[in-house]
Amino acid sequence: MPKMEYTAKQLAKILKGTVEGDPDVKVTDFAKIEHGKPGHLCFYANPKYEQYVYTCKASALLVNKDFEPKQPVTPTLIRVENAYSSLADLLKYVSTQRRTDRRHRGFRSSWFLTTKFGKKVYLGSHSYVGHHAEIGDYTKIYENVYVGDNTKIGKHCLIYPGVSIYPGMIIGDNVIIHSNAVIGSDGFGNAPQPDGTWEKIEHLGNVIIGDNCEIGACTTIDRAEMESTIIGKGVKIDNLCQIAHNVEIGDNTVMAAQCGIAGSTKIGKNCILAGQVGIAGHLTIADNTTIGAQAGVIGNIKEPGQTLLGSPSLPIKNYMRSYAIFKKQGKE
C-alpha cells in the first residue's frame, strides 16, 4: 500500500465531488468500510453494506451524491457521481503517483544494502529478489523466481522454479509455493462506465500467507484492492486454483484443484473444498464446512459443520432427496 496524505477537500477536487463535513480532515490509507478507522478513506456503493456507514470510524467516506443517511454518520462525506467509479479513479491516481515518484532501480551494488537475507538462504540462478525484501533463515528460492520489492518471506520456505511474488507480499514460515504460482497479481476489478466500457480498478493492497501453508502449481492469489487478501495458517491449496482479491481463508482449510473463490468471500477454518468448487463473491462460509466436487455456492453458509453438494449447493440430505427425484424422472 503506497503512503499518501490528502485532505477531504483535495480528494473532492481530484474526484470532482463535494465535501459534507470537515474539508481539512486528512486520510493516509484506504480501508474497507467495515474496517474503517481514523485516517482511513472508505467508500460506500453497495446497499448491502449500508449498516457499516453508521458504524464506520473512518475520517472520510466516498458516497454517491444522492445518498441520504438514515442515521448520524461519523466520517466526512465526499459526494460524487458514482462512488465505485470514483474509487477506481482515485486508486489509479494514487498508483500513478507511486510509479512516478519511484525511480527505476536496476540490479546494482546498493541492492545488497537494502535486501536482507537470513542464514543459509539458497537463491537459484536467474532468480531476483527486490529492494527492501526480507528472506528468512534456511529458505530456498529455486531458479527463475521473481520476488518483488518490500516482500517478506519467512524461515524454512521452499519457493519452486517460475514462481512470481509481486511487491509487498508477506509470506510466513515453512511455506511451500510450487512452480509457476503467482502471488499478488491484480484482482479482476473493473468499474462499468456510462459508454459501456470498463475502467480498471488499481489494486494497492497485498497478500498475506500464514505459516505452514502450501500453494499448488499454477495457482493464483490476487492482491487486495485495499487492505489484504489473507490465507490463514496451515492452509493447503492444490494446483490451478484461483483466489480473488480480498478473499480470506481460515486456518487449516484445504482446497483441491481448480477451485475458484470470487472476491471478498470469507471462508472459515477447517473447511474442505473438493475439486472445481466455485464460490461467488462477498459470501461467508462457516467453519468446518465440506463442499463436494463441482459444487457452486451462491449464498452464505451460516451453520458450521455442514456438507454441501450440487450447483447451486444444498446440504447433503436435501441434495440426495432432490437427486432421487431427478433420477426417477430421468427414467420416465
249: CATH:
2.160.10.10
Q: What is the pLDDT of residue 112?
A: 58
Q: Where residue 330 falls among pLDDT bands split at 50, 70, 90? A: low
Residue 42: inside a domain, yes or no? yes
* Residues 192 and 85 reside in one and the same domain: no
Q: Has residue 324 got a pLDDT over 90?
A: no
- Cβ atoms of residues 259 and 241 within 8 Å: yes
Q: Has residue 107 got a pLDDT over 70?
A: no
Q: What is the pLDDT of residue 322?
A: 80
* Residues 27 and 83 reside in one and the same domain: yes
* Residues 35 and 123 reside in one and the same domain: no
More confident residue, 240 or 327: 240
Last residue of a domain, one of 101, 132, 147: 101
* Residues 150 and 185 reside in one and the same domain: no
Q: Has residue 95 got a pLDDT over 60?
A: yes
51: CATH:
3.40.1390.10
All three cell numbers of 329, joined, read 424422472
- Cβ atoms of residues 174 and 192 within 8 Å: no
Last residue of a domain, one of 45, 72, 101: 101
Q: What is the pLDDT of residue 2?
A: 47
List of residues 6+ apart from 144 with CB closer than 8 A: 124, 126, 127, 161, 162
* Residues 275 and 239 reside in one and the same domain: yes
Domain interval for residue 92: 6-101
Q: How many domains are contained in the chain?
A: 3
Q: Has residue 106 got a pLDDT over 80?
A: no
Residue 52: inside a domain, yes or no? yes
List of residues 6+ apart from 40 with CB closer than 8 A: 27, 28, 29, 30, 31, 58, 59, 60
- Cβ atoms of residues 191 and 85 within 8 Å: yes
Q: What is the pLDDT of residue 286?
A: 98
- Cβ atoms of residues 161 and 182 within 8 Å: no
* Residues 238 and 274 reside in one and the same domain: yes
* Residues 238 and 257 reside in one and the same domain: yes
The answer to whether residue 245 is catalytic is yes
Q: Which residues of 175-206 are buried (b: 16+ CB within 10 A; e: fewer)?
A: bbbbbbbbbbeebebebeeeeeeeeebbbbbb
Q: Has residue 214 got a pLDDT over 90?
A: yes
Q: Has residue 111 got a pLDDT over 60?
A: no
Q: Has residue 105 got a pLDDT over 50?
A: no
- Cβ atoms of residues 237 and 215 within 8 Å: yes
Render pLDDT for 118-161 as a digit per residue (tens, 0 to 9): 999 999 999 999 999 999 999 999 999 999 999 999 999 999 99
User: Which of the residues 104, 156, 245, 282 is marked catalytic?
Assistant: 245
Last residue of a domain, one of 78, 101, 124: 101
Render pLDDT for 24-70 as a digit per residue (tens, 0 to 9): 999 998 888 999 999 999 999 888 899 999 999 999 999 999 999 99
Q: Where residue 113 falls among pLDDT bands split at 50, 70, 90? A: low
* Residues 190 and 318 reside in one and the same domain: yes
Q: Where residue 1 falls among pLDDT bands split at 50, 70, 90? A: very low
Q: What is the pLDDT of residue 93?
A: 85
- Cβ atoms of residues 196 and 219 within 8 Å: no
